[in-house]
Structure 1
Amino acid sequence: MKMKAVAKSKPGPGLQLIEAEVPKPGPGEVLVKVKYASICGSDVHIYKWDEFAQSSLTKLPRIIGHESAGEIVELGPGVKGLKVGDYVGVETHIACGHCYQCKIGKPHVCRNSKILGFHVDGAFAEYMVIPAENAWKVPDTIPRDWVPLMEPMGNAVHTVLSDEITGKNVLVVGTGPIGAMAVAVAKAAGARKVIATDINDFRLRIARKMGADIVLNPEIDDVRTVVMEETGGNGVDVVLEMSGNPNALNQGLDLITNGGWVGLLGIYGKNRIDVPMNDVIMKNLTLYGIVGRKMFSTWVVTTALLESGKVDLSPLITHRVTLEEYEEAFNVIFQGRAMKVMFEIDPS
């Protein structure tokens, strides 16, 4: 049986709509009929075929995409705890299970990790095969088109809950999709005041909808003056750096109070960062580098936040398209007019 998929078929910018065989699940795997899939920033890198994409996709053609949800339609041999008809989200880091990190309970930093849509065929397709252990069963109380966003939301949850957040004044630097979700998670977790910064006013409007108390554009606003006024001259307790911009990081380190903590999720690429380490030391700051989601404790918290109604993801989905409209989907992202673009593959 054939299926439609969006793939990187050859080196160079762009993607292709292809026809491929529906995959068969092997031992310990499940076949998922994909219902929804959203575009991640890493998919944009693949489209552009930049240095990151070229080093990450070592085998072509490759069906891309990883933020996804769907219905299990077939079980491979040996699968337990799941059944045909289950609606699942997908953990996209496929851990090896035998390296040192996996053995000590940290599979999210597995040294041999494979990524859905990079090292194995992904989710921008009508069907996909995933390891059964990567399928996260989702309750019916969570809207089905929110489920693909649970994977990036997990990054926000992991970052926000790295240390104490309740009652704290928080600065979120960079309000792309994960930064905007970090705003909502911080508020849901009891942050006192959340200040969000970005140079994109469209993103700041979304951040406001996600619960930010104050939104600031560093190209227009005097961020330092506002932050100090809003925190009684103390500075913020927490900085969540989601932008990957070295200047933004240094501004955050300037605005944080003594004894505060910093969550680092933004990717800096090959940028060399001149960090004022004496400030980090003398201010007694704690820095956390964040990657992925803790498997699977982060998924438990993400599910609970969505079930409780404390986090509303609907403002994030700004565009809906079919697989055939993939060019339009990526173009609207390139133009800076989208937050999350959702492929509605089989929304029935």
Structure 2
Amino acid sequence: VSGKSVAITGVGSIGLMAIPVARAAGASSIFAIDVQPAKLELASRLGADETFLARDSDWVEKIRGRTDGAGVDVLLEMSGHAPAINQGLAALRNGGRAALLGLPQEKVNLDIAELIIFKGLTVLGIHGRRMFETWYQMQNMVKRHRIDLKAIITHVLPLESFDEAFTLRKSGTAAKIILDLR
């Protein structure tokens, strides 16, 4: 993503982690999109240049405005929600690349011709075959202090407070919760 503009739809734990990784990899601009204002605040602290509420219907146009009308170079779709997938693909420039990592819980209707074929997009899914290669790359980035993932940990609770952890997670105000076994 070096020198590329990146949009991340869905800034849960994995989407939030993608922000400092994209920044360390040289992204020129990072846009974060989510339904939770608290997650967007955290996205800003982690290095997103601009954040947008997913329910604001004009976020695609705003991103196009920030990219001279072209759209972003890279989409990291982390939410798995049909509207975010459609809007994320619409926010991509012609010839852009999309990595679909969010797992939809329902079938997603896409205008494949309009959103992918005519734009010449490259769309990638995920698979586990390169899991260890990715693990070692991330481990190296953390060890060399190129990324700091501590900000993603929003709560550390004793194991006995697991009910509170689930409540926090459902509220949308927590990112990564650590249950301390001590």
TM over 0.5: yes
1:304 aligns with 2:130: no
Contact 1:293 1:299 in 2 (8 A): no
The structure with the largest alpha-carbon Rg is: 1
Q: 1:277 aligns with which of 112, 116, 122?
A: 112
Q: 1:231 aligns with which of 58, 67, 75?
A: 67
1:276-295 matches, within 5 Å, as 276-279=111-114, 280-292=116-128, 294-295=130-131
CA distance in 2, matches of 1:195, 1:293: 29
The residue type equivalent to 1:277 in the other structure is I
1:263 aligns with 2:104: no
Q: Once superposed, which parts of structure 1, at least 4 consecutive aligned residues long, lie more than 6 Å away?
A: none
Identity rate, percent: 39
Contact 1:264 1:288 in 2 (8 A): yes
Matched position secondary structure for 2:94: strand
CA distance in 1, matches of 2:125, 2:68: 28
TM-score (norm 2): 0.93
Matched position secondary structure for 2:130: coil
Structure 1 unaligned spans of 5+: 1-164
Matched position secondary structure for 1:294: helix
The residue type equivalent to 1:276 in the other structure is D
Q: CA RMSD in A?
A: 1.5
Contact 1:265 1:291 in 2 (8 A): no
Matched position secondary structure for 1:324: helix
The residue type equivalent to 1:274 in the other structure is N
Note the C-alpha offset of 1:220.
Answer: 3.6
CA distance in 2, matches of 1:250, 1:209: 27
The aligned counterpart of 1:193 is: 29
Cα–Cα, structure 1 residues 250 and 220, in superposed 2: closer, same or farther, change >3 Å? closer
CA distance in 1, matches of 2:109, 2:133: 34
CA distance in 2, matches of 1:293, 1:320: 32
1:22-61 matches, within 5 Å, as none
CA distance in 2, matches of 1:337, 1:292: 29
The aligned counterpart of 1:328 is: 164
Note the C-alpha offset of 1:225.
Answer: 2.6
- Report which of the two has the higher share of helix: 2
Note the C-alpha offset of 1:294.
Answer: 2.0
Matched position secondary structure for 2:131: coil
Note the C-alpha offset of 1:293.
Answer: 7.1
- What CA deviation, in whole Å up to 9, does each residue of 1:52-91 have, x standing for no partner? xxxxxxxxxxxxxxxxxxxxxxxxxxxxxxxxxxxxxxxx
